[in-house]
Homo-oligomer: A and B are copies of this chain.
Amino acid sequence: MAAPSMPDAGVNAKSQPTKQRLIDAGMRLLLKHGYNGLGIQAVLAEVGVPKGSFYHHFSDKEEFALQVLDTYMDAVHQGLDASLGDTSRAPLARIRFFFENTRDAYDQEGFLGCLIGGLGQELSGVNDVFRQKIDACFAALAERLAGSLEEARQEGAIARDSNPRDLANLLVDCWEGAALRSRLRRDPKPLIAMVDFYLGALADSAQTDIR
């Protein structure tokens, strides 16, 4: 789903605790290479610490990737706080704002899409821990978006008989598909095309109420 602003291996990186630097490097490398394509050695090389330092913090690669996902989701929730919490905007405008910010975050990473969707796609055929965790990530995101959609419903900005939770799940799903296409093309267009279509359809549904 939404990417946090990826930390880069920049000038201040050395001031972070080692565990955080490992997670930051893991986030960048997992997004690009995927889980099976990620070597712990590459993480160590990027951070400049020995193997023992990695295993001091993480029991294995799976635990490491799960903690990377937690960190990623924390940033997503912060992004949701900032955008959905901005009550100076109408509910649907808050949703648009969230996804525009997410698109900007993807831009900083070179449009590699969404880490959650990427790991979900790669691992959910064979690993139930990731499958269930990633499904729960999407459900949590949808739950928050549903809150704004419910406000929009009460204000008449979307059809009165619409189901905010269903619509929120649909939005998360469609975003993930657009994020994949954006990753394939290294292009933001599929992202905003999807949001425009979705929000346009909701607005039309409210018009149908009025008729």
Residues of A that sit less than 8 Å from B by CB: 31-34, 36-37, 112-113, 117-118, 120-126, 131, 134-135, 138, 166-167, 169-170, 172-181, 183-185, 190, 193-194, 197, 200-201, 204-205, 207-208, 211
Contact of A197 among B113, B170, B184 (CB under 8 A): B170
Most-contacted residue by chain B among A124, A167, A201, A211 (CB, 10 A): A124
B121 A122 Cβ-Cβ under 8 A? yes
Give 4 closest A-B pairs by Cβ, nearest first.
A177-B177, A36-B36, A201-B201, A121-B121
Work out how many copies of this chain go into the complex: 2
Residues of chain B within 8 A of A174, CB atoms compared: 173-174, 177-178, 194
Residues of chain B within 8 A of A185, CB atoms compared: 135
Specify the chain B residue showing the minimal Cβ separation from A193.
Answer: B170
Contact of A201 among B178, B190, B204 (CB under 8 A): B204
In the assembled complex, the Cα of A181 lies from the Cα of B116 at a distance in Å of: 11
In the assembled complex, the Cα of A97 lies from the Cα of B176 at a distance in Å of: 23
A33 B126 Cβ-Cβ under 8 A? yes
- Given contacts A118-B122, A124-B184, A170-B190, 6 further A-B pairs with CB under 8 A are A34-B125, A36-B36, A121-B180, A166-B193, A169-B190, A173-B177
Smallest CB separation, A126 vs chain B (Å): 6
Q: List 22 A-B contacts (CB under 8 A).
A: A31-B125, A33-B125, A34-B34, A37-B125, A117-B180, A120-B183, A131-B184, A135-B184, A138-B181, A166-B193, A170-B193, A170-B197, A172-B181, A173-B174, A173-B177, A173-B181, A173-B190, A175-B177, A197-B201, A201-B205, A204-B205, A207-B208
